[in-house]
Amino acid sequence: MGKIIEFMYRRKALFRWIFFGMLGAVVLYDFTVPRPHHPHFAGDSFYGFWSIWGLVICLAMIIFWKWLAHGFLERDEDYYDN
């Protein structure tokens, strides 16, 4: 297992392209599946919607919570000991 990761690590660039290829593939796959009969909301009928959802929520979550942490929540680990 360690060797496999080592092997992948040495071919970083290749695996980066495989990853990007996968991103394209999952979006393409979305065009092939039938839309749900009873869409819960507009997003359900929009091709590739969940790709945008995944990316936007992921970025928003990191930015919002990092802002919250840096601005308000972060303390030294021995904060309560003093």
Partner 1 sequence: MITSGIFLHPATWFIVGALLLPFAAKFKLQKALLIAVPVLAFIQIYALPADFGHVQYLGFDLIFGHKDKLSFVFLHVFTLMAVIGCIYGLKVEETEQHIAAFLYVAGSLGVTLAGDYLTIFIFWELMAFASTFLIWFRKRKRSIEAGYRYLMVHVAGGLILLAGIFLRYQNVHDLSFDRILVEGATMADYFILVGFALNAAVPPIHAWLPDAYPEATVAGAVFMCAFTTKTAVYVLARAFPGFEILMWAGAAMTLYGAGYATIENDGRRILAYHIISQVGYMVCAVGIGTEMAINGACAHAYAHILYKALLFMGVGAVLHQTGKSRLSELGGLYKYMPITLVLTVIGGISISGFPLTSGFVSKSMIVEAAGEHHQLGVMLMLLAAAVGTFLSVGLKLPYFIWYGGRQSDFEAQDPSWNMQLGMGIAAFMCIFIGCNPDYLYNMLPYAVEYQPYFGYHVSESLQMFAFTGLGFYFMIKKLTPKRFPASEHLTAHLEATDHGSHHAGPLMNLDFDWFYRKGALLFMWMAKNPLDALNELVSNVYQSIGCRMTMAIAKGSSWFDWHGIDGAIDGSARGVVSLGDKTRMHVTGNLQHYIGASVAALFVILAIVIFT
Counting residues that bind partner 1 (by CB under 8 A) gives: 46
Rule CB under 8 A: is residue 33 a binding residue for partner 1? yes
- Residues of 15-50 as b/e, b for ≥16 C-beta within 10 angstroms? eeeeeeeeeeeeeeeeeeeeeeeeeeeeeeeeeeee
Rounded to a whole number of angstroms, the minimum distance from the CB of residue 10 to partner 1 is 14
Q: Residue 13 or 36: which CB sits closer to partner 1?
A: 36
Rule CB under 8 A: is residue 36 a binding residue for partner 1? yes
Task: Answer whether 26's CB lies under 8 Å from 50's CB.
Answer: no
Rounded to a whole number of angstroms, the minimum distance from the CB of residue 14 to partner 1 is 15
